[in-house]
Amino acid sequence: MAASVLTAPMASIGVPREIKADEQRVALTPDATRELASQGLEIRIESGAGAGAGIGDDAFAAAGAQVVSREEAWAAHLVVKVKEPQPGEFGFLRDDMVLFTYLHLAAYPHVGEALLAAGTTGIAYETVQLESGSLPLLAPMSEIAGRLAAQVGAHLLERPHGGRGVLIGGCTGVRPARVVVLGAGTVGWNAARLAAAMDAEVMLLDRSPERLRSLEDARRGRLMSVVSSRGLLERLVPSADLLIGAVLTPGGRAPTLVDEAMVQQMKPGSVIVDVAIDQGGCVATSRETTHTDPTVTIDGVQHYAVGNMPGAVPFTSTEALVSVTLPYILGIAGRGLEEAVTERPELLSGLNTVQGAVCHPGVAKALDVPPRHPMACLR
């Protein structure tokens, strides 16, 4: 691989149209395009890339982008996407490009294998991590996915949609649905807050008392926070009308917290929304689904495990995503990767693959390969 892909500024940025099933988001907006073009960067947008998010080719062209073919978009020095490359895109991977997108390689090891075989430098939005431990490029999509989880779960509990026929907030004299949320991170907190706002009885579980304590002042309605344990899960899961899986291991596979025996004890017509499915899922019976065919019923329980939940609201999701990725895109393209990680050290944790090596310990463990230190990967 030419050293310039790591050290030199990148003259061109490519934005392909997403081809993952039901994925309508796009990696840039016209406003972001205008900002990048003002810095002298060449922006290549594949024709139709923004259509699902309500952004036409003419809007990108007016902002200074070139509207190009799929091949021309992928031929750029820096390729910016929303979702991991699909098998039909593996042929575009090269050793003289940087790919910046959600990768989730623990859940999609075949993508990791393709990146390694091509020698592509892959930077994953979801593993860019600040010193505080926060994940700035994952947070907005986690917020959206959490809110969607409560919204979708309430919908699926309705009888015409296969549920028990339970109104999530109940009514006068009738108890509301019990919602059990596993994980009090951004996804879990947003799911729990919205479910509580709909008057559900919500149990928010997390292994960290400190995290639960930090949320205490913001608790409202019938929302209870509880330190999680195996015994508690065995008691609570069977009582849930709606179970939301919201645990995260940055870069690695999500832990399986709910086994098949627990699912079998749930009430017929109850619902599981496994938001952790893009990291392998935290419920043993979960299998990834799509927006077109979002649920599968196993042991009498509806499972919703769509791997790109924010894709259901592509306008909102695109605006939210680009608002946080744009400064990083500017840094990588305008300064080169080595200088960009000096200015924004959190990008080092975003490095998943470089020159055929895996540079993130969580990803390396999931792929069962030896990791290299990110700085060693850049030299």
User: DSSP alpha helices (H): ranges in 38-138?
Assistant: 57-62, 70-74, 109-118
Residue that is written with structure tokens 């790109």 in the block: 308
Report the SS3 class of residue 78.
Answer: strand
Give dist(CA 120, CA 12) in Å, integer: 16
Give dist(CA 137, CA 129) in Å, integer: 8
* 304 Cα distance to chain centroid: 16
In one-letter notation, the amino acid at residue 173 is: G
Give dist(CA 355, CA 378) in Å, integer: 9
Contact call for residues 206 and 184 (beta carbons, < 8 A): yes
What is the phi/psi pair of residue 4, to 5°? -60, -25
357 beta partners: 354
User: Helix 314-335 vs helix 139-156: angle between axes, to the nearest 10 degrees?
Assistant: 160
What is the phi/psi pair of residue 171, to 5°? -160, 180
DSSP 355: T
DSSP 288: -
Dihedral of the CA atoms 342, 348, 354, 360 (nearest 10)?
160
The two tokens of residue 64 are 């200074």
Q: Which residues are designated catalytic?
A: 104, 278
Give dist(CA 79, CA 93) in Å, integer: 10
Give dist(CA 125, CA 135) in Å, integer: 8
Provide the CB-side half-sphere exposure for 269 (13 A, CA): 14
